[in-house]
Copies of this chain bind each other. A is one copy, B any other.
């Protein structure tokens, strides 16, 4: 297998996560090309150099266009703030590179559609960083549903929360602006939940919603008297109608004290229920209306080799995968799709729907009216 060169833009939370993932993907799975860590980009340049040295990239740059143009780079990983996603992804696609883009794709649906159109024009492959989809527990939930383990789906509930904006006195940042951040909790967290809802139940058709900015202003720095408005939502909830008629209800908050990575859902079926919570990401709970009533109950399934691709990491059940392992699976998914000449999932195409839903929620929240997708 011909190895593939990686160019990574960004060295923060997701930047490091991508670097670690591409370092390990082939070692973990064995069935994909080696990922050569070619170029790392960040500003200023000495930061890029320092991280290139740490992460093991062959060279560093402070100019992302330089990275995009590098002939040794096959895959461009974009982990920069949301507002520059579009420009970078377009440039990478135009340069004929495969694009691994962090979510959300863009600040607006218009931009996201431009990205999809650009990808469709090239032969390049794309994948968007909806990493929670790659959890073996989620894969098993899908399999259970497809196998009819809980009968026909009749209801979906989901919540996704963190508390990074829970402190009322946290300083104002660009995250509070529509221009730079776009959506609030919907863009940061909500879209992850939609990716799971869609994977488990199907696409969303229409919705009603309510959105709230809990902390209406924030100080310009700790203890500052000057305060600026928070322009995007801290909390959003929506009543969903999926295309298959199933009713769902979801809620997201970035101001939920105590929630650190809470992505919880329930899938109600005519013969059982599946529940999950990302804060216990190695567990899936399954209820089935089978056998004697006295022995019916929610079963906690600890993921293991019976839930692929867990076994690629550890051959013994219950030993636990971690957050970074999900990105390794994502990187593997992308490398494999490229090697086999087919689309990865979720490509820009699937991601477009996830993001259409969060924008529809924002619109419904503002207008108070039901919004139908497409």
- Which residues of A are in contact with B by a Cβ distance under 8 Å? 12-13, 16-17, 19-20, 23-24, 26-28, 30, 34, 54-56, 140, 144, 149-150, 154-155, 157, 159, 162-164, 166-168, 208-210, 212, 214-215, 234-235, 237-239, 241, 247, 249, 251, 253, 255-262, 266, 268-273, 278-282, 286-289, 292-302, 304, 306-307, 313-325, 368, 370
Contacts and interface: CB of A to CB of B under 8 A. Distances in A.
B27 A23 contact: yes
A268 B259 CA distance: 10
A193 B214 CA distance: 23
A76 to B, nearest CB: 19
Contact of A27 (B19, B237, B368): B19
A293 B306 contact: yes
A79 to B, nearest CB: 13
Most buried by B among A24, A260, A280: A260
A6 to B, nearest CB: 13
Contacts of A294: 140, 301, 306-307
B317 A260 contact: yes
A154 B235 contact: yes
B235 A257 contact: no
Given A144-B295, A210-B247, A215-B270, 15 more contacts: A16-B27, A23-B23, A27-B56, A154-B214, A157-B251, A210-B241, A249-B251, A255-B268, A257-B270, A258-B272, A259-B318, A293-B304, A294-B301, A297-B299, A321-B322
24 contacts: A13-B316, A17-B314, A20-B24, A24-B24, A155-B255, A162-B316, A210-B247, A237-B239, A249-B251, A256-B268, A257-B270, A257-B272, A258-B297, A260-B304, A294-B301, A295-B299, A296-B301, A297-B302, A314-B323, A314-B324, A320-B322, A321-B324, A322-B322, A368-B370
A143 to B, nearest CB: 8
Q: How many copies does the complex hold?
A: 4
Nearest to A32: B54
A235 B273 CA distance: 15
Contact of A316 (B159, B164, B167, B370): B164
A326 to B, nearest CB: 9
Contact of A166 (B261, B286, B289, B315): B289
B239 A287 contact: no
Contacts of A292: 306
A255 B27 contact: no
Contacts of A296: 258, 299, 301
A290 B351 CA distance: 38
